C-alpha cells in the first residue's frame, strides 16, 4: 500500500486526503489545529463554490451540507456611477443578475474542514496535529512515497520559489475585510432566488455579498476588497469584532447604500466571524527541494494563490485536488519523481491559468470594451448569464472578454439574435 503525506487541512488537502483514502492509500494528514479548534475558531475565508467544484465533492460523497446550505442560483453585478460616492446619494450605473446553469453554495470552512477532519479520522486515517516545519518534511520525504504540501501560509510556502513569469504582482492588490452576519434583509428588487452580489466601486474597490451556511445556520458574508491606500483600506489593526462590523457598515452606507439599506437588523454570527488581511497574488514553482534531497509537491494556494476578487479560491482548491487525485491514481506504482510532479502540476495549470488570467485582469481598471460588456448585460440576459457562468468555467472568458474584437462580435451576435426573436 502506497504511503502519502498531506500537510495542511484546508479544502484541497482534506479533499485530496479523503479521496486517496477512499482508493485504499495509506494517508497521513497533518494539521496545525484540531477539528474542534477549527470549528470554534475564527473564520478562515469567504467561499462560493460553483457547480464544477461542488461536483468534485459529490463525486467523493463529501457533500455533507448540500441540503442545508443556501442554493445560490444567480450572480449579480452592480457598478456605482462615477463620482457617486462623493457626498450625496449614490447611484448605480449598472445593475443586473445572471442565472447560473448549476447552483453554487457556500459552507463556512469552519464547518466543512472540521467535519471532513472528523470523517478522515473515523475512516481510519492517521491524523497528526502538528505544525510541520521544513525539517519535518525532510524526514518524512524518506518515509512516504509522496509528500503533498497544501498549507498555504508560513515557512513551508517559502520552499516553493516564486514563478516571476506567471506572477505580475509583487505587492497585494487589495486590502481584504470579511464579516459573517445574521439578519441581512433582502434587496427590494431581488429575484425570488439566492444570488451572490458583486458591487464594483470604480477606483475604490468591491463589496461582495453572499449567502452561506455557518456554525449557527444560514448567514450572509459581507466582503470588502479595497484598493490599498484607498478609503476601504482601514481594517488593519482593528481587533474588536464589533468595531470591524461597524466599519464594514459605515463603508457600505457611503459607497453602496443599496446594500446598506438591508443591514438594519444585522449582527455578527459570532465573535470569530470577522477576518482581515492582504497578500500578493503569486504563482510558485510546484516542486520543493528539501535539504536532505527529498521532494514535496505544492497543492492549490501553495502554488497558485490568486486574489479573491473573482471568488475562485475554494473552487481552484477543489479542482486542484481532483486533478492531483486523478494524476496519482493513473501513476500506479511508479515513483513520484520530479518529472511526474511537474506533469501533475501542468495538468492542473491547464485549468488554473484561466483563473489567474481572469483574476489579474479584474484587479485593474476595466478597459472600455469590458465596461461595454458589463453594461450590455443589463439589457441582454444571455450576456448576464454567460458572465455569471464564467465564475464556474473561467476558460470561457477567452472567447468574449479579453479581446475587444471578440467582445464586439459577441455582443453583435447576441443583439442580432434578440432582434430576430
pLDDT (tens digit, 9 = 90+) per residue, 186-213? 988 767 899 999 999 999 999 999 999 9
pLDDT at 68: 98
Q: What is the DSSP string of 87-138?
A: SS---EEEEEEEEEEEEEB-B-HHHHHHHHHHHHHHTT-EEEE----HHHHH
Q: How far apart are CA 348 and CA 304, in angstroms?
A: 10
pLDDT at 417: 78
User: 52 and 80 share a domain?
Assistant: no
In Å, what is the CA distance from 61 to each residue of 18, 116, 243?
A: 10, 11, 40
What CATH number has the domain bearing residue 58?
Answer: 3.50.50.60
Q: What is the mean pLDDT of residues 371-376?
A: 96
pLDDT at 278: 95
Q: Which domain holds residue 239?
A: 72-104+174-277
Tell me the three cell numbers of residue 173: 492588490
pLDDT at 84: 54
Please list the alpha-helical segments (H only) found in 171-278: 241-255, 257-260
Q: How far apart are CA 60 and CA 69, in angstroms?
A: 18
User: 163 and 178 share a domain?
Assistant: no
Tell me the three cell numbers of residue 96: 443586473
Residue-wise pLDDT for 217-239, tens only, equals 999 999 999 999 999 999 999 99
pLDDT at 310: 97
User: 30 and 141 share a domain?
Assistant: yes
DSSP 342: H
Q: How far apart are CA 389 and CA 378, in angstroms?
A: 15
- pLDDT greater than 80 at residue 145: yes
Give me the chain's average pLDDT, please. 95
Domains held by the chain: number: 3
User: 271 and 185 share a domain?
Assistant: yes
User: 268 and 198 share a domain?
Assistant: yes
Share of the chain above pLDDT 70, in %: 97
* Of 396, 395, 369, 365, residue with least CA distance to 382: 396
Q: Which of 277, 293, 312 is the last residue of a domain?
A: 277
- Min mean pLDDT across 143-157, 290-304, 320-334 is at 143-157
User: 180 and 257 share a domain?
Assistant: yes
User: 376 and 398 share a domain?
Assistant: yes
- pLDDT greater than 60 at residue 389: yes
- pLDDT greater than 50 at residue 390: yes
User: 154 and 41 share a domain?
Assistant: yes
User: 264 and 400 share a domain?
Assistant: no
pLDDT at 86: 54
- The Cα angle at residue 47 between residues 194 and 108, in degrees rounded to 5: 90
Sorting pLDDT into bands at 50, 70 and 90, what band is 89?
very low
- pLDDT greater than 50 at residue 88: no
pLDDT at 91: 87
pLDDT at 82: 81
- pLDDT greater than 90 at residue 419: no
Residue-wise pLDDT for 325-345, tens only, equals 999 999 999 999 999 999 999
User: 269 and 307 share a domain?
Assistant: no
Residue-wise pLDDT for 93-132, tens only, equals 999 999 999 999 999 999 999 999 999 999 999 999 998 9
Q: Which of 347, 362, 377 is the last residue of a domain?
A: 362
Share of the chain above pLDDT 90, in %: 92
Q: What is the mean pLDDT of residues 388-410?
A: 98
User: 350 and 285 share a domain?
Assistant: yes
Q: How far apart are CA 6 and CA 4, in angstroms?
A: 7
User: 193 and 226 share a domain?
Assistant: yes
CA-CA-CA-CA dihedral for 10, 15, 20, 23, to nearest 10: 160
Residue-wise pLDDT for 24-67, tens only, equals 999 999 999 999 999 999 999 999 999 999 999 999 999 999 99
Amino acid at each position: 500500500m502506497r504511503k502519502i503525506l498531506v500537510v495542511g487541512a484546508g479544502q484541497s488537502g482534506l479533499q485530496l486526503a479523503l479521496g486517496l483514502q477512499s482508493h485504499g492509500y495509506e494517508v497521513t494528514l497533518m494539521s496545525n489545529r484540531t477539528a474542534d479548534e477549527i470549528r470554534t475558531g475564527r473564520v478562515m475565508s469567504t467561499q462560493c463554490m460553483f457547480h464544477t467544484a461542488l461536483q468534485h465533492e459529490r463525486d467523493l460523497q463529501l457533500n455533507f451540507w448540500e441540503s442545508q446550505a443556501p442554493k445560490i442560483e444567480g450572480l449579480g453585478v452592480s457598478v456605482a456611477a462615477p463620482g457617486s460616492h462623493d457626498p450625496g446619494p449614490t447611484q448605480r450605473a449598472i445593475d443586473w443578475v445572471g442565472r447560473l446553469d448549476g447552483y453554487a453554495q457556500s459552507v463556512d470552512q469552519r464547518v466543512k474542514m472540521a467535519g471532513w477532519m472528523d470523517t478522515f479520522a473515523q475512516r481510519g486515517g492517521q491524523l497528526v496535529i502538528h505544525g510541520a516545519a521544513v525539517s519535518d518534511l525532510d524526514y518524512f520525504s524518506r518515509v512516504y512515497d509522496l509528500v503533498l504540501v497544501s498549507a498555504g501560509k508560513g515557512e513551508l510556502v517559502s520552499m516553493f520559489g516564486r514563478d516571476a513569469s506567471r506572477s505580475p504582482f509583487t505587492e497585494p492588490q487589495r486590502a481584504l475585510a470579511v464579516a459573517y452576519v445574521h439578519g441581512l434583509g433582502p434587496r427590494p428588487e431581488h429575484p425570488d432566488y439566492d444570488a451572490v452580489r458583486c458591487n464594483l466601486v470604480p477606483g475604490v474597490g468591491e463589496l461582495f455579498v453572499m449567502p452561506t451556511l455557518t456554525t449557527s445556520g444560514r448567514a450572509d458574508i459581507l466582503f470588502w476588497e479595497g484598493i490599498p491606500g484607498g478609503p476601504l483600506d482601514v481594517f488593519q489593526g482593528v481587533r474588536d469584532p464589533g468595531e470591524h462590523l461597524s466599519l464594514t457598515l459605515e463603508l457600505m452606507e457611503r459607497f453602496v447604500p443599496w446594500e446598506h439599506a438591508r443591514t438594519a437588523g444585522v449582527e455578527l454570527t459570532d465573535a470569530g466571524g470577522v477576518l482581515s488581511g492582504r497578500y500578493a497574488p503569486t504563482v510558485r514553482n510546484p516542486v520543493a527541494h528539501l535539504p536532505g534531497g527529498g521532494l514535496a509537491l505544492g497543492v492549490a494556494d501553495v502554488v497558485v494563490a490568486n486574489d479573491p476578487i473573482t471568488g475562485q479560491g475554494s473552487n481552484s482548491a477543489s479542482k486542484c485536488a481532483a486533478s492531483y487525485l486523478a494524476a496519482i491514481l493513473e501513476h500506479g506504482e511508479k515513483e513520484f519523481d520530479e518529472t511526474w510532479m511537474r506533469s501533475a502540476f501542468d495538468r492542473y495549470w491547464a485549468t488554473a491559468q484561466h483563473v489567474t488570467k481572469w483574476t489579474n485582469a479584474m484587479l485593474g481598471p476595466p478597459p472600455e470594451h469590458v465596461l461595454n460588456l458589463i453594461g450590455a448585460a443589463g439589457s441582454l440576459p444571455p450576456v448576464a448569464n454567460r458572465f455569471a457562468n464564467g465564475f464556474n468555467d473561467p476558460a470561457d472568458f477567452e472567447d468574449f472578454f479579453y479581446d475587444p474584437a471578440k467582445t464586439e462580435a459577441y455582443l453583435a451576435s447576441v443583439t442580432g439574435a434578440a432582434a430576430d426573436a
